[in-house]
Amino acid sequence: MNRQELIDAVASATGGSKSSTAETLDAILEAVTKALVAGDSVQLIGFGSFSQGARAARTGRNPATGQEIQIAAAKTVKFTAGKVFKDMVNR
């Protein structure tokens, strides 16, 4: 499902217009993004939680030349599915 298909599905389920549903989806994604950038986590009970993770610096290898390279540490985004969501997927 892509963004437009998600908007269509939510608009038909709620009876709202596609444009207002798109604005709402954009606002939700922006709020989640801002929270994660600030280092906060976002918990949606029954669905899951988004949080910030960390990947340590490490030594890698360039596959073309075989030369060792240093890969910098990076922040990542983690999603942990909630129990209800996992149970629905595994039915």
Identify the pLDDT of residue 58. 96
pLDDT band at 84 (very low <50, low <70, confident <90, very high): very high
Q: Give CATH for domain 41-91.
A: 4.10.520.10
Percent of the chain at pLDDT above 90?
Answer: 99
Q: What is the pTM of this model?
A: 0.78
Q: CB–CB of 43/29 below 8 Å? A: no
Residue tagged 């437009």 (tokens) = 4
Query: What mean pLDDT is predicted for residues 71-79?
Result: 96
Query: What mean pLDDT is predicted for residues 59-86?
Result: 95
Tell me the β-bridge partners of 76: 53
Query: What mean pLDDT is predicted for residues 53-72?
Result: 94
Q: In degrees rounded to 5, what are phi and psi of residue 46?
A: 90, -20
Residue spans of the domains in the chain: they are: 1-39, 41-91
CA 23 to mean position of chain CA atoms: 18
